[in-house]
Amino acid sequence: MKKMKKIICLLFAFIFCSSVFASAYTYTPSTEPTSEAVYMYSLTSESMVYSKNAAEKKDPAYLAQIMTAIVAAENVTGWEEPVTAPAYIYDELYLQGLPTADIRMGETVTVKDLLYAMVIQSSCEAANIIADYVGKGSIPAFVEMMNNKAAELGCSNTHFTTPHGALSDEDYTTAEDLFKIYRHALTLSGFEEMFSSLRYTIAANAVNGTERILSTGSVLIDNYNGGTYYYKYATTAKASASGKTGRNLVSTAEKNDFSYIIVTLEAPLEAVDGTYRNFVDHQYLYNWAFDELKVTNILKAETSIAEVKVTLSQNKDYVLLYPEKDFSFLLPEGVSADSIQLIKNLPESIKAPVKKGDIVGTITLKLANEELATVNLVAGSDLSAAPTMKAFDIVGQILTSPWFIGVVVLIVLGLIGLIVYARVRQLNRRKYKTVRHRRRF
């Protein structure tokens, strides 16, 4: 990573480990992206890097086809399955001027053809054809599957009404939700290759005798036709452009083992300067991150950072403590690991036996007096208890335990009660004898 230009906003941190809690400190780039909503995520540190209106509901437009592709791929037996285009799916698309791959009524193509047509060329008829096929003749049934999948992925602010993302004012998602969808898509077999493809050919057939060569609209990854919008570190992308929503874009990029995902929504369709701002925004954010952010190791699981006293131990009277896992933060260049405060939260002592891996305490990490994370500290070795000391300890625990004290109190109260009862009975007997004696006289 290169030297950062400024460290005005020195806070950016998020945990590298999934098992511990951390708060994310966003580091804001010096120039705000033009897109209305942005979500940028580091795949290297598993952390959010930058967001702008990331929770606001926006129209995904043709990016809805990412979810269409996911649901389709997860519900077919293979990408070479033949699919025939039914006539009715074209009714709503006729004369709408929507993106197309020229797949015609009655034409039989493969699932793969349809997936690539959606990803590379945002083909609306391909989305309807695959939705009808997987939905067993019902596009609404398929759309319900899309929404169910969104819920499964934790997208709480996403709703689809069409498989193609056009002709509806009721579709919505957020930049953060779309990140979850795109990230899941890239985990599926064949999807990373598909989202990085520049061209795809649909073979000629009996219905359409013309071979169709599809070209990507995601010029961020197109080194042939991308011009100034081509970004050599970009690895995957899908773009969407419409008069209703402006320019949307999802992409990934990798450089020097650092990788990111960016989602941008609602960049202007035609910027004042004539540029396509969605591609410009992605280029700028990637350059900013690659130049100015670095993953800094804070804790290593193999390095002891504390010790605690151990009582009742048969051998050592202390145990070394280690972080439960490696722990790193994504920090601006120029902010070192020494800037992180490490505050140990440990008991004065613990009792043997101790097992390696037992959680003994925690360590809190702070940056500029702001709490960043809490990490478990675990025992680095086994310590057995001395039998005699353990026995005395058990006896001591029993004698000082609340239930034992309660039993003793009950016994004492019972004895006091018996003594009082015996005393009262004795007094009653004396009184009775006195009364009898008086009656005789």
Three-state DSSP state, 435: helix
The confidence score (pLDDT) of residue 327 equals 85
Which are the contacts of 391, defined by CB distance < 8 A and separation ≥ 6? none
Per-residue pLDDT, 436: 60
Q: Could you tell me the two tokens for 110?
A: 């493969």
pLDDT the model gives residue 406: 80
Q: Which pLDDT does position 18 carry in this prediction?
A: 32
Task: Please state, in angstroms and rounded to a whole number, the distance separating the CA atoms of residues 112 and 79.
Answer: 5
Selection from 185, 262, 247 nearest residue 58 by Cα: 247
Mean pLDDT by 10-residue block, N- to C-terminus, for the chain (441 residues)? Answer: 34 32 58 96 89 97 98 97 97 93 96 98 97 98 98 98 94 98 98 98 94 96 96 98 94 95 95 90 96 88 94 89 88 80 94 93 85 89 76 60 79 84 78 62 56
* List of domains in the chain: 31-295 (3.40.710.10), 300-385 (2.60.410.10)
| Residue 435 dihedral angles phi and psi, to the nearest 5° | -65, -45
Do 98 and 124 meet the contact criterion of CB atoms below 8 Å apart? yes
Amino acid 411: pLDDT: 86
pLDDT of residue 385: 83
Spatial distance between the Cα atoms of 124 and 19, rounded to a whole number of angstroms = 41
pTM for the whole structure = 0.75
